[in-house]
Amino acid sequence: MKHGLLTFVLCLLCALPAQAVKFSHTEETYSLAKSRFLVPTLLYKNEITYCIATPAQTPTSPTADQLDILVQAALREWTHGIAVRIRAAGREEEMADILKILDKPLRLIRLSSCNLTSHPQFLAVHPSYNPAGLSSDLTVILSSDYCAKVLGSVNSFFAFEYKNAAPFMCLTQNYANPLRAPAPQDYFPAASDPQKRELLKQTDQIFAQAAAGTYDTDVQDQLWQINRMFAWDGPTYFSVLVHEMGHAFGLGDEYLKDRPQEYASPAPGQGIMLRLYNPISCDEIDGMITLLDRFSGVQRTFASFCSNKTVIQNGKALPVSETIQQQVKKQLLHPAAR
């Protein structure tokens, strides 16, 4: 990806190629200032600030307060949510240093306004919106028209380098809102049994818990069950936010072909960075660990969290045979057996 005035990590809402990579990092991780990514913010700060701009509010789009809950839940899925999955895999002792980072009581602070003065063309699209505001680690803008104006097509995206603007996320207005109150006549084909229909009634409570309460396996499972019920005919705002948040931490799209070996390992992906419907998976665990290691200078060899896959050494997949991979993975996971 070449550098220029406009550098994007795109969330393309189209048919994805069959071949993908298991995890990838944005190539620009080393070339941009560390403050431009959320990983060093997570490593070295105790808070992440964000702001939400909704210059194109419609009756069907989420309110700024609803987006606030969804943003918080998405941020916590990348921290506490990955910690939950590491523990569920029985690898708490091995990844104790990673869990210490993911578990820390990070404050998520929403600022009252967004500084959009460095966003060229913003006022051309929304002339009545005041662009003056506060600078934050992450800006979320809800506007299909502005996304199209900047990108040239109607898609959501995360941009970490755009003119003089701070990193921002642009969301279009064509997704399902899991925080809207379902009407009695609403059709939820994924809610096929009474238990799932009952879970739908708890949507607000579960998202609020994910955003600010205890984050455990039950909450995580319920969160993604609800997301899937709302996503029966397209992505939800929550899953799109989680995907784009992955870019904000420095992960690349898994569906792209021909990723350099330095930034990706050539194996099929499974999680949210591959498709906007899937939850965070073993692929994203691998990716987050290698990102944290890259920024903190840690050298690590570990077995992939994806079963029957590779061993990862210092952020790269080891090019060894399947038999050797399995032997090394066994030694890494069960060191006493050496």
E strands in 76-149: 107-110, 138-142
> Where are the strands (E) in 6-156, listed by range?
6-10, 47-53, 107-110, 138-142
**Of residues 267 and 192, which shows the higher confidence score?**
192
The count of structural domains within the chain is: 1
- Tokens 């506490």 — which residue? 80
Residue 225 forms part of a structural domain: yes
Any domain includes 155: yes
Expressed as residue numbers, the domain containing 218 is 6-298
pTM of this prediction?
A: 0.87
Q: What is the pLDDT of residues 114-136, one digit of tens each?
A: 999 999 899 999 999 999 999 99
Least confident piece of the model among 8-17, 301-310, 319-328: 8-17
Residue 46 lies in a domain: yes
Tell me which of 288 and 325 has the higher pLDDT: 288
Q: Is the pLDDT of residue 109 over 80?
A: yes
Whether pLDDT at 12 is above 60 = no
E strand residue ranges, the chain: 6-10, 47-53, 107-110, 138-142, 157-162, 168-171, 301-303, 311-313, 316-317
What mean pLDDT is predicted for residues 63-90? 96
Q: Looking at the domain assignment, is residue 66 inside a domain?
A: yes
Distance in angstroms (rounded) separating the CA atoms of residues 276 and 271:
8
Percent of the chain with pLDDT over 90: 50
Whole-number pLDDT of residue 320 = 59
Q: Lowest-confidence range among 114-118, 148-152, 320-324?
A: 320-324
Contact 291, 25 (CB under 8 A): yes
Kindly tell me if the per-residue pLDDT of 41 is higher than 80.
yes
Among residues 2, 46, 76, the alpha carbon closest in space to that of 242 is found at 76
How confident is the model over 167-190, as pLDDT tens digits?
Answer: 899 999 989 999 987 777 777 777
Residue 320 in any domain: the answer is no
Q: Higher model confidence: residue 94 or residue 154?
A: 94
User: In this structure, is residue 304 part of a structural domain?
Assistant: no
What does pLDDT average to over the chain?
83
CB atoms within 10 A of CB 293: 18
- CA distances, 333 to each of 85, 89, 90, 185, 295 (Å): 16, 11, 9, 51, 24
Count CB atoms within 10 A of the CB of residue 162.
Answer: 19
Confidence label for 69 from pLDDT (cuts 50, 70 and 90): very high
pLDDT of residue 19: 31
